[in-house]
Structure 1
């Protein structure tokens, strides 16, 4: 018994050493970077890209370089709440004021409260909230949870297929291993037709993170009880909390977080960032392809 335990400990150590070696190899492979690209590429970040590509340094390098080009062009860290606040008026996506039982940040999505039709603004709003969720992850926590409430959802409220595809692409390609789980709460039967199309945009790793929750299914509700504190979980997800989204209050919180984000990323000179080392310049970025398979989010 002791020998088996000792062997397990050794193999765990070997795996850790091998992973750290891969992180060093990936850092060497991407070469010299500076500014926000360097700030972005922490060891934890490199590990997430390696994990998403099954620890292949070559594939991880390609994926990471695509993200650095995307970030240089899209500048997600520079989006500010006042620019996209109109998208959030109905509370269709917001960062929850509670965590799951492991302390992960929770994003609440209510597709039935869709209030706009601009693809670009919808994407900027979602990217802003993903960045904000990451900014608010507790120390030592890498992943977030999505809670999706289908109250009031219908095919007429569904976002365009273009927006759906790009959401999957951005989450899987540029935020690998950031999603722990997505709980789809009480989806109507008509959603099944929509889901049959959507699931083709998801790679197997992301697909496995999606949980369908049905209030009348005891096994489903047990999963919610194991994942969240009923006292803080909103009633629309089977919990006991009656708290509601307050747009003015949320806007005040986001204004404070925007200051934190500026402090975190630094008010780097835009021109210097534009010509950041290694060619991650917004002027050289090719258009993003549509959703690509095989990116673990």
Structure 2
């Protein structure tokens, strides 16, 4: 996002916010959040708060509620501490993986292959999804906040559809990783998928839905779409590119283990991409109670869904403030913010 003007809907028209107005809203959220334990304070950088504000159309009250919920979730779930060894079983079929190339905007690419689902554990599937999101954020290049989701529908059938997993996937992506999704490409979805997509559409926020693109290999416009987005020599053959190397779990595991070693550096004050502007806070005496999570009837849409828990998982997907729309870890169709 540029540091210039931002648009957000207001009474049916678009309201323009200057850089100064945006910063004022960021400062307002900081004041409402208050002091936090060190890791959470680092998480609440201006850039991070801005994503929550954009996700809630610069509504300070709703953005603060959304951010507080996420801080409580991060405190309990500890997503940045999930090691590769805890999700390796879920990952071995390549149902979700971070590709070794970026799009032309420098956005990392997460590939999802619903046919490769290898688990019936919703908890395990969502944990792996969270691991993948944390890993993708770790690998964002300087100045880039978003990623691309590519859903490969080859071999997809009705058995890969799970409304529950899709809903929870959407919740995680939209509410825990707002504004991380740049684009979600649904590649060769079968005809029978369309009714299912219509059914899960209510789980998606308009910003997310508008980032979804249906792409078909037999469509004359598809090649141009992919060429505009990617270096075709790096793009995988299954998406119309020239790379035929395929997914190798052994090589991927080594990449992830190396990334696990880098993760702690992301949560230090010296990290320019996450460091908060406030001075370090010791936080030893602080607890989740400091987040003061009180009910807010004006909170926001899509925040709680059936079967969600504060420490476990809640849904999310592709949107101007989230991610894709397809099978979370091989089920249905989820979406990336």
Select the structure of larger CA radius of gyration: 1
Unaligned residue ranges in structure 2 (runs of 5+): 6-15, 269-282, 294-307, 323-337
How far residue 193 of structure 1 moved from its aligned partner, in angstroms, is: 2.2
Q: After superposition, give the CA deviation of every residue in 1:26-73 in whole Å (9 maximum; x if it has no partner).
A: 111211112211011011001100101111111110110010011111
Give CA deviations for 1:92-114 in whole Å, capped at 9, x if unaligned: 10000000001101101111111
Give the one of 23, 26, 31 matched to 2:26. 23
CA-to-aligned-CA distance 1:158-200 (integer Å, 9 cap, x gap): 3x21111000011111111000000000011121122121212
SS of equivalent to 1:218: coil
User: Residue 110 of structure 2 corresponds to which residue in structure 1?
Assistant: 107
Partner residue of 1:147? Answer: 150
TM-score, normalised relative to structure 1 = 0.87
CA distance in 2, matches of 1:165, 1:60: 21
**Which whole-Å deviations, capped at 9, do the CAs of 1:264-289 have from their partners, x for residues lacking one?**
236xxxx95983571479xxxx9349
Residue pair 1:69, 1:280 contacting (<8 A) in 2 also: no
User: How many aligned residue pairs are there?
Assistant: 277
Give yes or no for contact 1:50–1:56 (8 Å, CA) kept in 2. yes
Which of 208, 211, 214 is the matching residue for 1:212? Answer: 214
- Which consecutive unaligned segments of at least 5 residues does structure 1 have? 1-7
CA contact (8 A) 1:33 1:277 kept: no
* Distance across 2 between alignment mates of 1:220 and 1:234: 15
* Within-5 A mapping of 1:212-231: 212-231=214-233
Q: Which residue of 2 aligns with 1:48?
A: 51
Runs of 4+ in 1 over 3 A off after TM superposition: 271-274, 288-296
Number of the residue aligned with 2:261: 259
Alpha-carbon contact 2:233-2:243 (below 8 Å) kept: yes
Q: SS of the counterpart of 1:98?
A: strand
Match of 2:68 among 65, 68, 76: 65
Superposition pairs for residues 123-138 of structure 1, below 5 Å?
Answer: 123-138=126-141
In 1, the alpha carbon distance for the partners of 2:152 and 2:292 equals 38
Question: 2:9 is matched with which residue?
Answer: none
Which residue of the other structure, out of 157, 160, 163, is the alignment partner of 1:161?
Answer: 163
Distance 1:126 1:291, change over 3 A: closer
Identify which of 170, 176, 179 aligns with 1:177.
179
1:239-250 pair list within 5 angstroms: 239-250=241-252
In 1, the alpha carbon distance for the partners of 2:136 and 2:200 equals 24
Which one has more relative contact order, counting CA pairs under 8 Å at least 6 apart? Answer: 2
**SS state of the match for residue 244, structure 1?**
coil
SS in 2 for 1:239: coil
Shift of 1:292: 8.3
8 A Cα contact 2:152 2:188, kept in partner: yes
CA distance in 2 between partners of 1:51 and 1:128 (Å): 24
Measure the CA separation in 2 of the matches of 1:166 and 1:101: 30
Compute the TM-score of the two structures, normalised by the length of structure 2: 0.77
- Equivalences for 1:83-98 in 2 at 5 Å? 83-98=86-101
CA apart distance, 1:250: 0.7
| C-alpha RMSD over aligned residues | 2.4
Q: What is the CA–CA distance in structure 2 between the aligned matches of 1:280 and 1:273, rounded to whole Å?
A: 15
- In 1, Cα distance between the equivalents of 2:247 and 2:44? 34
Match of 1:3 in 2: none
Aligned twin of 2:290: 278
